[in-house]
Amino acid sequence: MAGQPDRDLAGPGRPPAVTPSPLSRGATPGADRSRDSYLPGHGNGGYKVLHYDLDLDYRVVSNRLAGRAVVTAIAEHPLSRFTLDLGPLQVQDVRVDGRRVKYTHRPDKLQIKPERPLGAGDTFRVDIRYAGKPVPVSGRWGDLGWDELTDGVLVASQPNGSPSWFPCDDQPSAKASFRVAITAPSPYTVLVTGDPVSRRRGAGSTTWVYERSEPTSPYLMSVQIGRYELVELAAGDVVQRAAIPPTLRANAAHDLGRHGEIMTAMQRLFGPYPFREYVVVVADDDLDDPVEAQGMAIFGRNHLDGRRTHERLVAHELAHQWFGNSLTVADWRHIWLNEGFATYAEWLWSGVSGDWPAEALAAQWYQRIAARPRDVIVADPGVDRMFDPLVYKRGALTVHALRKRIGEEPFFAMLRAWVAEHRHATVTTEQFRAHAQRFAREPLDGLFAAWLDSRALPPFPR
């Protein structure tokens, strides 16, 4: 997400530490443990989700959601029980492979006990019916997940808001495919992160169906419901659309007018766009920061002012489709691989568009960082600082330092290979270090140690 790229670099305070859920301690050793070091209370172990099939019915006025989730998974070792992440919605029925089973539901975990233990390698289906008034997950990053707008819904789940609207294995490494069908009142447009499949209009309501065939982390699934007008952003091989409030038509035409050029530039720099469609949603409410989802970015009406003031954020969110969405961090401690690269993409677009070159922006941000306390380790900032502006800007400076060290041609070849070789997979900092070394004539250990592993600020890269 765009996060806080232009805010004060002093960084936020320290909220209370995350305490793992008691249900993450499984009867089967390690069965229910999250693999994420920063948010151990989110995510589960013992199985791998292959596919989510969600059928949802939403009433906008009453904020009432009724859902059926069919989760197809494979057991990684024998399981006498397992858990899914799910917020304070009312669970009405749970079945495993068609058989009604025992379950318990606390505000954050749904614990399920199959009629018979599952064997290692077994593929199984969990059918969950639930309903209630969805509320976002509140915490150190504000309200995340399913959130009511003045007239509609916005879903922005990074990093742990997905359980606010569907049962899931809520950790970034747990990628799966999705089918999502949502029925909502007909005056509203429904957009979901996925390729549109069908739209069926009934008596007063319309059912919208989307499929996401590429492996997708639960936090990157999004639903947007509003009185939107759909417009084409640019022609070309990639479908580029925008969903905007009609009152913002003129501002959107100007502020998003170069979107096709940004897409072309990023494909040249990073390789082919990794999905079939890209949708920009502009909510009819103000938002603090834009946020990306898989094949989608969500902005507030305040981000369109008719002067392209926030075009760098348009570039930032689009870059996340490569860095963050196709290539997704295996653990939240690697968050700089998302935000450092998306921030550097802002700087690259600035140069391509005829504004400040990346070198000048790197020098400017270096001076601003140098004037602040050096209190964040980029490669492992800690859960309290994972969205700190220093992770964004010093992460981008790390990318710039690497570019200066290995040279222009090897650098961009390295980026395109990184994207291609890990397409739709998960990545770590250690993998990136090893990958970059293949394109360098000299060891890079010192460069990465200085920029990623130390609080001290290295000299500006020349």
Q: pLDDT, tens digit, for every residue of 348-380?
A: 999 999 999 999 999 999 999 999 999 999 999
pLDDT of residue 33: 77
CATH number assigned to the domain covering 229-322:
3.30.2010.30
Host H or E run for residue 434: helix 429-437
Mean pLDDT for the chain overall: 93
- Choosing from 47, 317, 346, 366, the catalytic residue is 317
Residue 35 C-beta-side C-alpha neighbours within 13 Å = 15
Please report, to the nearest 10 degrees, the dihedral formed by the alpha carbons of residues 335, 337, 338, 339 taken in order. 80
Asked if 135 contacts 87 with a C-beta cutoff of 8 angstroms, the reply is yes
Q: What's the rounded Cα separation, in Å, for the pair 113 and 348?
A: 52
Q: What's the rounded Cα separation, in Å, for the pair 63 and 129?
A: 17
Q: For this structure, is 273 an active site residue? A: no
Q: What's the rounded Cα separation, in Å, for the pair 224 and 188?
A: 10
CATH architecture of 329-452: Orthogonal Bundle (1.10)
DSSP 8-state symbol, 12: -
CATH architecture of 28-139+152-222: Sandwich (2.60)
pLDDT of residue 34: 85
- Residue 216 β-bridge partners: 176
Spans in the chain with pLDDT lower than 50: 3-8, 10-30
> Would you say the pTM of this structure is higher than 0.85?
yes
Q: What's the rounded Cα separation, in Å, for the pair 449 and 443?
A: 11
Q: Which runs of E-coded beta strand occur in 86-226?
A: 90-96, 99-100, 102-105, 109-113, 123-132, 137-139, 142-149, 152-156, 176-185, 189-192, 195-201, 205-216, 223-226
pLDDT of residue 32: 64
- Pairing mode, strands 426-427 and 328-329: parallel
pLDDT of residue 180: 98
Is 77 known as a binding-site position?
A: no
How many other CB atoms are found less than 10 A from the CB of residue 152? 20
Helix 336-352 with 311-319: angle, nearest 10 deg: 130
What is the residue extent of each domain of the chain? 28-139+152-222, 229-322, 329-452
pLDDT of residue 307: 97
Is 320 known as a binding-site position?
A: yes
Q: What's the rounded Cα separation, in Å, for the pair 109 and 23?
A: 7
Q: Give phi and psi for 265, each to the nearest 5.
A: -65, -45
- Residue 436 β-bridge partners: none
Q: What's the rounded Cα separation, in Å, for the pair 152 and 100?
A: 35
223: left (phi over 0), alpha (psi -120 to 50) or beta: beta
> Residue holding tokens 């569907």?
166
- Residue 97: exposure state from Cβ atoms within 10 A (0-12, 13-18, ≥19): middle
Q: What's the rounded Cα separation, in Å, for the pair 130 and 90?
A: 5
Cis peptide bond N-terminal to 163, omega within 30: no
pLDDT of residue 11: 35
pLDDT of residue 1: 64
Is 311 known as a binding-site position?
A: no
pLDDT of residue 31: 53
Q: For this structure, is 210 an active site residue? A: no
Q: Give phi and psi for 226, each to the nearest 5.
A: -170, 175
